[in-house]
Amino acid sequence: MAQVLKDTFMWVERLQVQYFRNYVELDIHFVGGLNLIYGDNGSGKTSLIEAIEYLSSGRTPRGRSDRELIHWNGENLILHCHFRGSQSDEMRIDLLIERSGKQTVKFNQKQQFQLCDWIGRLKTVSFCQQDLQLVAAEPSLRRRFLNMEINKLHPQYLPTYLQYRRSLAQRNALLKELRMGRASTRLLAQWTQSLLEHGILIIKERRNFISSLAKPALTIHRSLTDERESLQIQYECSCGNNRDMNTNETELRDSFIGALEHRKQDEIRRGTTLVGPHRDDISFLLGLHDSASSNIQWVDLRKFGSQGQHRTAALSAKLGVAELVLQQTGEAPVVLLDDVFSELDQSRRNAILGQLRRFDQLFITTTDRSFVDPQGDIAARVFEVVNGKVHRRN
Ligand SMILES: Nc1ncnc2c1ncn2[C@@H]1O[C@H](COP(=O)(O)OP(=O)(O)O)[C@@H](O)[C@H]1O
Ligand SMILES: [Mg+2]
């Protein structure tokens, strides 16, 4: 992967870490092109990817609490990251998380008070083993995928989403009161309205995201399957309207209101809200090409696809996001692949590496040392991780 500067690049130049996961202290310089990180299980490869991902999204892809990120023996965690993009000069993020949970973030030396003010500055798209389950896993993983990727692309999604979660929590609390006969249904209308307003904004953002993702994901999917298969991704609303991407806002609102009305007694009986973005999902349709008739037969990938087809679709969706970030922001995101190659056969690996040549900086982690040698021509820099220490190997 040659280090030719394109006018659409973004890359991480330097990462300094103190007391993050099993790293006590770390200072590494990365290169444009491929950064290959190998090491035994438990050495700290995922943690390294996690640090970069955290600087991009303000979220830990695994685990629930930011405090889990702090080294067991440390008081505070510190991350400094220098990165560059074609649209901006050198940038840096400085992040401090204290045991109390207090977080201080600076972007270019200026303190940032809200997550949505700094997430997405460092553009990344990451892919880990859990993401290979995107198609087959429970719906919450797919909603998380939507939320994480949209947040990074449009940080204003986050406050709307948080407002939605608050309305939902309040409405659920009220439904529980109603179940016990301790509240009036008049109050419910107020929280239903709030749920509706924020919920509609969330659904619209997600639908836009999915409809913009459809094309790049399809192109990548076709290329990964030698043009033998196609892929459609659709947003599935729990309020109906499924499979109709062109629904306008009035229709969406009517369906949402109608579905809430329809489930009202059920909601009171169960003490929880049964309709809304927190119950929505994504569906994947797999198109099988019949070369004789040139017809495409569409099937529900989750029900009828093999494990390999699920994985290919998941990779196409994620790499499609990377392409989308490039199209919408003019900068190619840093691509982080954590230990996914061991799960794929050689031809699929090569097909994916081919796709990845479009991106300017790439991190691949692996336990497989043999992976290092055959890739000699593209490995720009090789690192070995041993017990929370990173050694440069070329
Ligand atoms: N907060 C923490 N403090 C110290 N060590 C941790 C913390 N969280 C996880 N670890 C340890 O970090 C090590 C590296 O984990 P990981 O990055 O997942 O390794 P790899 O991906 O190389 O298999 C593991 O041994 C894990 O137990
Ligand atoms: Mg790992």
DSSP for 276-289 reads SGGG-EEEEEEEEE
Could you tell me whether strands 124-128 and 361-366 are parallel, antiparallel, or unpaired per DSSP bridges? unpaired
Q: How many whole angstroms separate alpha carbon 313 and alpha carbon 283?
A: 11
By residue range, what is the domain housing residue 323?
A: 128-330
- Percent residues over pLDDT 90 in the chain: 81
Instruction: Return the pLDDT at 374.
Output: 54
Do 149 and 293 reside in the same domain of the chain? yes
Verify that 39 and 55 share a domain, yes or no.
yes
Q: How many CB atoms lie within 10 A of CB 47?
A: 21
Q: Give 245's pLDDT tier (boundaries 50, 70, 90).
A: low
Cβ-Cβ contacts under 8 Å for 160 (sequence gap 6 or more): 198, 201, 202, 205
pLDDT of residue 375: 54
What's the rounded Cα separation, in Å, for the pair 245 and 14? 42
∠ CA(43), CA(47), CA(52), 5° rounding? 140
- Is the minimum distance from the CB of 46 to ligand 1 under 6 angstroms? yes
Q: Which of 46-50, 148-152, 194-198, 369-373 is least confident?
A: 369-373
Q: Which of 330, 355, 377 is the last residue of a domain?
A: 330
Q: How many CB atoms lie within 10 A of CB 292?
A: 6
244 and 258 together in one domain:
yes
Question: Both tokens of residue 232?
Answer: 């459609």
Whether the per-residue pLDDT at 205 is higher than 70: the answer is: yes
pLDDT value for 2: 45
Pocket mutation for ligand 1, best pick of 18, 20, 22 (most atoms within 8 Å of C-beta): 22
Ligand nearest to the CA of 40: 1
Residues 185, 312 share a domain: yes
Instruction: Output the pLDDT for position 379.
Output: 62
* pLDDT for res 366: 94
47 in contact with ligand 1, CB cutoff 6 A: yes
Distance 69 CA to ligand 1 centre (A): 9
Query: Does residue 366 have its Cβ closer than 6 Å to ligand 1?
Result: no
Last residue of a domain, one of 287, 305, 330: 330
Q: Assess whether 275 and 154 both reside in one domain.
A: yes
What digits encode the pLDDT tens for the residues 43-65? 999 999 999 999 999 998 777 78
Give the chain's domain count.
Answer: 2
Per the model's pLDDT, the better-predicted residue between 374 and 273 turns out to be 273
Nearest ligand, CA of residue 38? 1
pLDDT digits (tens, 9 = 90+) for 216-226: 999 999 999 99
Q: Which amino acid is at 63?
A: G
Q: Encoding tokens for residue 93?
A: 């993020």
Enumerate residues with CB within 5 Å of ligand 2 (an ion): 45-46
Ligand 1 pocket test, pick from 17, 36, 37, 47 with the greatest ligand atom count within 8 Å of Cβ, gives 47
Say if residue 14's pLDDT is above 50. yes
Q: What is the pLDDT of residue 368?
A: 86
Q: In what order do the strands lie in the sheet with 229-236?
A: 229-236, 281-290, 295-300
Are 162 and 267 within one domain? yes
| CA–CA distance, 328 with 68 (Å, rounded to integer) | 33
Compute the average pLDDT of residues 8-14. 94
Question: Using an 8 Å Cβ cutoff, are 242 and 236 in contact?
Answer: yes
137: confidence class by pLDDT, cuts 50, 70, 90: very high
Same domain, 201 and 267: yes
Point out the ligand 1 atom lying closest to the alpha carbon of residue 47.
17
Q: What is the pTM of this model?
A: 0.93
Residues 284, 149 share a domain: yes
Does 172 share its domain with 291? yes
pLDDT of residue 1: 45
d(CA 365, CA 38): 6
* Ligand 2 geometric centre to CA of 338 (Å): 7
Q: Ligand 1, atom 17: nearest CA belongs to which residue?
A: 44
Answer whether residue 243 shows pLDDT above 80: no
Burial (CB count within 10 angstroms: exposed 0-12, middle 13-18, buried 19+), residue 210? buried
**pLDDT band for position 5 (50/70/90)?**
low
Say if residue 193 is in the same domain as residue 151: yes
Confidence (pLDDT) at 75: 95
Question: Is the pLDDT reported for residue 350 higher than 90?
Answer: no
Which atom of ligand 1 has the smallest separation from the CA of 44? 17
Amino acid at 77: L
Q: How confident is the model at residue 342 (pLDDT cuts 50, 70, 90)?
A: confident
Q: Pick from 285, 300, 330: which residue ends a domain?
A: 330
* Per-residue pLDDT tens over the stretch 160-196: 999 999 999 999 999 999 999 898 888 899 999 999 9
Tokens 């407002």: give the residue: 163
User: Cα(31) to centroid of ligand 2, in Å?
Assistant: 21
Residue 306 reports pLDDT greater than 90: yes
**Are 91 and 194 members of one domain?**
no
| Distance separating alpha carbons of residues 294 and 34, to the nearest angstrom | 39
Instruction: Please name the residues in contact with 221: beta carbons below 8 A apart, sequence gap of 6 or more.
Output: 229, 230, 231, 312, 313, 316
Residues 147, 107 share a domain: no
